Amino acid sequence: MELYLDLISPPCRSVFLFAKVLQIPFDFKLVKLSAGQQYTEEFGRISSIRKVPVMKEGSFILTESVAILKFLAQKHASSAGDHWYPADLQQQARVNEYLSWQHLNLRIHGSRVFLLRTLYPLIMGSEVPEDKMDAAVENLTQSVNLLEEKFLQDKAFIVGDKVSLADLVAVIELMQPIGTGLNVLEGHPRLIAWRERVKQEVGKKLFDEAHESVMKVNSLPQEMQRSSHLQALIPKFQKVFNW
C-alpha cells in the first residue's frame, strides 16, 4: 500500500496514525503542500482532485480520508478489533454521524483559523482583517462546544466506552489550531481528559511524532518564503482564502 501524505494536514495525520495503529505496512509518499507538490504532473496522475491523503493499493486508488479510514477499518477488522468502526448498526451510525458533521464544522473552522494564523499575511500580502479572524475563531469555538456537549457528553469516547474513528478524526483536527498556539481546549477539562485517552489509545510517542510539523508550524511562512516556487504558488494559494 502507498499513502500520499503531508503530516501538516489533519486528514493525512488521521490516515497515517490509523495505518500505524493497525500495523499496516505502507510506503510513505510525501506530497509537500507548502512546496506545491499537489500541483505536479506526477501527483495529478494519482489524483485529479490534487488533495492529500490518497491511498493506492495496486491499481486501486482511493481519495478522501474518511473513505480511506473506513476502508482500512473494515478490511482489518479481524486484527484491529471492531471498535474503530463498529459493525453494530447503531454504534456505526454514531461514528458516521460525527464523521459527517465534522467536515463543515470542526474541520473547516479549525483549518480556517489555522490558515489565517499561519499563511494569510504571506499569501495575501496584508495582515488578517480583524473581523475575518474574529468570525473564524467564533465559529471554531462553537464547533468545540458542540463536540463536547453533543458528541462527547460524559462518555469516555464519542461512541461510548471504546475509541473509534470519530475520536481519532476529532482529536487530529483540534490539534491544527492548537499548533498555531491557540489553545481551543482551555476551559474544557472533559475534552482535555478525552484527548489524553485518545492519545493513549494511539500511543503517545506515535501521536507526538505525527504532530511534530504542526506543533512547529509558526516557522512555516519563513520556510515558504525561502522556496523558489513561492511566486508561482501564491495565486494558487490565494484561492484558499476566497471564502
Number of residues that bind ligand GSH (CB under 6 A): 12
Nearer to ligand GSH, 51 or 56 (CB): 51
Closest listed residue to residue 13, CA positions, set 171, 242, 238, 180: 171
Compute the distance between CA of residue 202 and CA of residue 172 in angstroms, rounded to an integer: 11
Residue 107 beta carbon to ligand GSH: minimum distance, rounded to whole angstroms: 7
Binding to ligand GSH by residue 172, rule CB under 6 A? no
Closest listed residue to residue 9, CA positions, set 17, 82, 1: 17
Site for ligand GSH in 55-94 (CB under 6 A): 64-66
Q: What are 225's three cell numbers?
A: 518564503
Residue 83 beta carbon to ligand GSH: minimum distance, rounded to whole angstroms: 22
Please select the residue that binds ligand GSH; options are 9, 118, 143, 164, rule is CB under 6 A: 9
Nearer to ligand GSH, 46 or 202 (CB): 46
Do 105 and 173 form a contact (C-beta atoms < 8 A)?
Answer: no
Q: What are 161's three cell numbers?
A: 466506552
Site for ligand GSH in 24-43 (CB under 6 A): 33, 38
Please select the residue that binds ligand GSH; options are 3, 7, 19, 52, rule is CB under 6 A: 52
A 10 A CB-CB count for 238 gives 12
Residue 190 beta carbon to ligand GSH: minimum distance, rounded to whole angstroms: 26
Stretch that binds ligand GSH, among 47-55, 150-158, 159-167, 216-224 (CB under 6 A): 47-55
Do 169 and 99 form a contact (C-beta atoms < 8 A)?
Answer: yes
Binding site for ligand GSH (CB under 6 A): 9-11, 33, 38, 50-53, 64-66
